Structure 1
Amino acid sequence: MTDDRFQLHNSLGYQITMLARVIERRFEQGIADYGLTRPMWCVLLAAGQEGLHSPSEIADFIGIDRTATSRTLRKMEERGFITRGSGDGDGRSIHVTLRERGQQALEAVLPMAQENAAHFEAKLTEQELAQLRAAAAKLLRDEPRIVPKL
């Protein structure tokens, strides 16, 4: 007789979720010393490396909703990482710019992000890593994008 019960710990969704949490937690422990959260780090990347300056572009890049983006930007502005100003001169759009503290945090944390990625990638062979990336892309293909609420 086979066991047809759903096995939580064997489900793909559970395993991927747990892996993502482990990777995120390891990284978040390091960036907390800089007064950053993971979404704040993503904003630094969006504005500082990707050249994205509108809240909607940043939200799309990070994969979070506009409310969470606004909340993150407000906290970052309060902590001196960014400025938010009028983007088009008529006051209807917002333009996000890194301040010196934000640029310094980006430069300081970038090696930590690279090390965190390398830590987990080193557990796989180059072939396994390529297969994992290809499998993840295949699983995501044709699926609606779900924006997580933070």
Structure 2
Amino acid sequence: MATIDLGDDPLALDRQVCFALSVASRSVIAIYRPLLKPYGLTHPQYLVLLALWDRAPRTVKDLCETLRAEPATLSPLLKRLEALGYVKRERNRADERALLVDLTDAGREFRKEAEKIPYRVVEELGMDLAELEQLHAALGRVLAATERRGAV
């Protein structure tokens, strides 16, 4: 195995991957906040809708796996989305233990409006789309590496 050289100060804050990811994550989510606010949505709720627009209905278990979230975290998000009229929850008739989450007509209709959001985020970031796609691919590799280690 090759020797890893982390320079003179391996604990320098500005060299830490965890710090860069943490600050970048908060900063990007802050861009979403005013875009989602008119719809009464938080960023985590938006992620649930993205997953459902990809495929619905889904079980809560499937949503948890897709979003890498715990059921205790997801449950209040789903209740709020249901109160907003975007989703409905019901027991799976084939398996009463499973809770199905599906989009309502309003949730499906909202997708058309939500399609504008990614464009606004790219505009706000002011970065080249190819650079953002490379970043996304690199983050995908980071996620895969952490999943192999059982960190997620």
With structure 2 as the length reference, what TM-score do the two structures score? 0.77
Q: What is the alpha-carbon distance in structure 2 between the residues aligned to residue 15 and residue 59 of structure 1? A: 26
Do the aligned partners of residues 93 and 39 (structure 1) sit closer, same or farther apart at CA in structure 2, a change above 3 Å counting? same
- For residues 94-139 of structure 1, give each alpha carbon's deviation from its aligned partner in whole angstroms, at most 9, with x where no partner exists: 111111222233221221124314543x52473x445534433443
Q: What is the alpha-carbon distance in structure 2 between the residues aligned to residue 97 and residue 79 of structure 1? A: 13
Higher relative contact order (CA 8 A, sep 6+): 1
In structure 2, the residue matched to 1:136 is 139
Root-mean-square deviation (Å): 2.6
In structure 2, the residue matched to 1:78 is 83
Q: Does 1:123 align with 2:127?
A: yes
Q: Quote how far apart the aligned CAs of 1:52 are.
A: 4.7
* Matching residue's letter, 1:60: E
Q: 1:81·1:99 contact (CA, 8 Å) conserved in 2?
A: yes
- For residues 12-48 of structure 1, give each alpha carbon's deviation from its aligned partner in whole angstroms, at most 9, with x where no partner exists: 2211211111111101221011011112112212222
86-95 vs 25-34, which moves further:
86-95
42-51 vs 24-33, which moves further:
42-51
Q: What is the alpha-carbon distance in structure 1 between the residues aligned to residue 145 and residue 100 of structure 2? A: 32
Q: Quote how far apart the aligned CAs of 1:55 are.
A: 0.6
In structure 2, the residue matched to 1:49 is 54
Q: What is the alpha-carbon distance in structure 2 between the residues aligned to residue 44 and residue 63 of structure 1? A: 14
After superposition, where does 1:1-150 map in structure 2 within 5 Å? 4=9, 6-89=11-94, 91-117=96-122, 119-120=124-125, 123-124=127-128, 126=130, 128-129=131-132, 131-144=134-147, 146-147=151-152
Q: 1:46·1:52 contact (CA, 8 Å) conserved in 2?
A: no
With structure 1 as the length reference, what TM-score do the two structures score? 0.78
| Partner SS, residue 143 of structure 1 | helix
Aligned residues: 144
